[in-house]
Chain A
């Protein structure tokens, strides 16, 4: 199978602090990973495409200085939410694309609550 892990699964932080979320592909290499955000009763919205060894590509309206992405290896991408605010509270999900395939496999998600 294709397993993607995400850590932490849940985090509560105070406004103004930063939170790092890790996404790992456990049994396959993923040159490309994706970060999504999902608000209640809405569909997944792509935030950025993370490419191993190069800068991430951000979707329109997503602040790259606020959502820092690092993809330092073929199995790990991290998303750091800097200076978090209550409106950043959401379900953050990563996915990894198996090399030479269009199929994406999702991590279990991180539920972020900013108080």
Chain B
């Protein structure tokens, strides 16, 4: 079983739609959680950290459920520019900062 699992998609949605991505992780000792965005042939960019209380940044909302070992990302009012691969990322190894990446979920927003 992969340490971080995501549905690879692709998710094809129209502009303005709301879309949700889910992610599960296997190690209950995981400590920090992130969503990164990666555009084709580019490096990943940090989208947001995910906290137990949930957090929101504009159109993006991230939630963490430690009991179910589940992380989600909600994108409201999708824009064409949101088209990318969204990576669920987990830090498990304490102070080493080692990150484990999911394989990513591809989003394509259509006009």
Within 8 Å by CB of B103, from A43, A102, A105, A107, lies A43
Interface size of B by CB at 8 A reads: 21
Whether B65 is near chain A, meaning CB under 8 Å from some CB there, is: no
Whether B107 is near chain A, meaning CB under 8 Å from some CB there, is: no
Q: Name the interface size band of chain A.
A: 20 to 34
Contact check, A49 vs B98: say whether CB atoms are below 8 A apart: yes
Q: Which residues of A contact B44 (CB under 8 A)?
A: 44, 93, 106
A77 to chain B, nearest CB (A): 14
Within 8 Å by CB of B99, from A46, A107, A109, A111, lies A46
Within 8 Å by CB of B46, from A91, A103, A111, lies A103
Interface string of B67-111 (1 = CB under 8 A from A): 000000000000000000001000100001111111110000000
Contact check, A104 vs B99: say whether CB atoms are below 8 A apart: yes
Within 8 Å by CB of B45, from A43, A57, A106, A111, lies A106
Whether B32 is near chain A, meaning CB under 8 Å from some CB there, is: yes
Q: Which residues of B contact A91 (CB under 8 A)?
A: 41
Alpha-carbon distance between A79 and B70 when the two chains are bound, in angstroms: 35
Alpha-carbon distance between A34 and B101 when the two chains are bound, in angstroms: 13
Within 8 Å by CB of A97, from B42, B43, B97, lies B97
Q: Which residues of A contact B26 (CB under 8 A)?
A: none
Task: Identify the B interface with A (CB < 8 A).
Answer: 31-32, 34, 41-46, 49, 87, 91, 96-104
Q: List 6 A-B contacts (CB under 8 A).
A: A34-B98, A42-B103, A43-B103, A44-B87, A107-B43, A111-B41
